[in-house]
């Protein structure tokens, strides 16, 4: 089977070594197998994404020697397609409006920030007439997945993880994920799943920080009848103090490395030293 990989950065900052690792792994695997390597710009979150970062991503990848097949897919140009997918889930009775603010969610959880926590389900059982009334009044709302009902339809999650084989995943642990945001017409989980299917991606290479998102994305694939690609989650790169690299760490951006005289070959070597051979998945 011919393979199709992809690199799907969000243009919220300059690419750093961690992104370069994800991109290189996808690129090298496609190249070794004579397959396709696609580039997708995940810029649905217009409040955080900037066109200047998209341009910088294209330039940094070209500098690194990554060549992608076809034109990059720019998610913000395809909102109508994501809305159509949402409508399908709504027709299946699997979505509900959520009016909660971040502060309300944090208070319900008894946690100061609520970041990374599972939604406590406050709006899941709202009276439909009351919810419709609030929507008609123009109150801002997100659309959440009825994850328990979705899992009842799809059954237990299994997917193939490189180096591990077929593994089970706990989609319920993600809770009722947001599929359309208050401030954006759709969300990461929906768009990433939609586009991996549409673009025929057969192998998703990305950082281990997204591993927990995989089971719920498999649930979405099954709800829509889309194929489940294989996954290869790579170890996250860390700084000298063992902290995960973030876009705010200027020192690790490809831009700064390049300006500091580091070559693309040296970038590859740095990555291989930190996470192992980028051309081998196990």
* Closer Cβ to ligand GLU, 42 or 141, answer by number: 42
The minimum distance between CB 282 and ligand GLU, in angstroms, equals 20
Binding residues among 242-271 for ligand GLU as defined by CB under 6 A: none
* Closer Cβ to ligand GLU, 141 or 195, answer by number: 195
Binding residues among 180-209 for ligand GLU as defined by CB under 6 A: 192, 206
Binding residues among 141-180 for ligand GLU as defined by CB under 6 A: none
Q: Which of 200, 159, 179 is closest to 35 using CA atoms?
A: 200
Q: Is 215 in the site for ligand GLU (CB under 6 A)?
A: no
The minimum distance between CB 65 and ligand GLU, in angstroms, equals 20
Backbone phi, psi, residue 204, to 5°? -95, 115
Q: Is 10 in the site for ligand GLU (CB under 6 A)?
A: yes
* Closer Cβ to ligand GLU, 49 or 94, answer by number: 49
C-alpha span between 79 and 93 (Å, rounded)? 21
C-alpha span between 9 and 11 (Å, rounded)? 6
Number of neighbours of residue 7 by Cβ within 10 angstroms: 25
Q: Where are the alpha helices (DSSP H) in the chain?
A: 17-32, 51-64, 79-91, 102-109, 128-136, 147-154, 188-198, 214-224, 254-259, 264-275
Applying CB under 6 A, the span of 7-15, 27-35, 43-51, 161-169 interacting with ligand GLU comes to 7-15
Q: How far is CA 110 from the centre of its chain?
A: 27
Q: Where do contacts with ligand GLU occur on this chain (CB under 6 A)? A: 8-10, 42, 192, 206, 210
């Amino acid at each position: 089977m011919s393979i199709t990989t992809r690199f799907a950065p969000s243009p919220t900052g300059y690419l750093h070594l961690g992104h370069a690792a994800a991109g290189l792994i996808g690129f090298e695997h496609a190249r070794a197998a004579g397959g396709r390597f696609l580039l997708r710009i995940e810029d649905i979150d217009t409040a955080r994404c900037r066109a200047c970062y998209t341009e910088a991503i294209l330039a940094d990848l070209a500098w690194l020697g990554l060549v992608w097949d076809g034109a990059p897919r720019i998610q913000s140009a395809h909102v109508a397609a994501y809305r159509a997918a949402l409508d399908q889930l709504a027709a299946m009775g699997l979505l509900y409006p959520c009016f909660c603010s971040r502060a309300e969610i944090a208070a319900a959880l008894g946690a100061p920030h609520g970041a990374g926590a599972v939604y406590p389900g406050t709006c899941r059982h709202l009276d439909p007439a009351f919810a419709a009334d609030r929507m008609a009044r123009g109150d801002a709302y997100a659309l959440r997945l009825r994850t328990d009902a979705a899992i009842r339809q799809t059954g237990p999650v299994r997917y193939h993880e490189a180096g591990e084989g077929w593994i089970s995943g706990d989609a319920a642990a993600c809770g009722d994920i947001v599929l359309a945001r208050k401030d954006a017409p759709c969300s990461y989980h929906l768009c990433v799943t939609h586009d991996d299917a549409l673009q025929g991606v057969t192998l998703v290479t990305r950082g281990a920080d997204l591993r927990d998102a995989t089971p719920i994305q498999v649930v979405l694939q099954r709800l829509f009848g889309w194929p489940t690609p294989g996954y290869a989650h790579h170890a996250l790169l860390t700084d000298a103090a063992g902290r995960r690299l973030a876009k705010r760490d200027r020192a690790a951006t490809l831009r700064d490395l390049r300006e500091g005289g580091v070559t693309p070959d040296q970038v590859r070597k740095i990555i291989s030293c930190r996470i192992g051979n980028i051309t081998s998945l196990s």
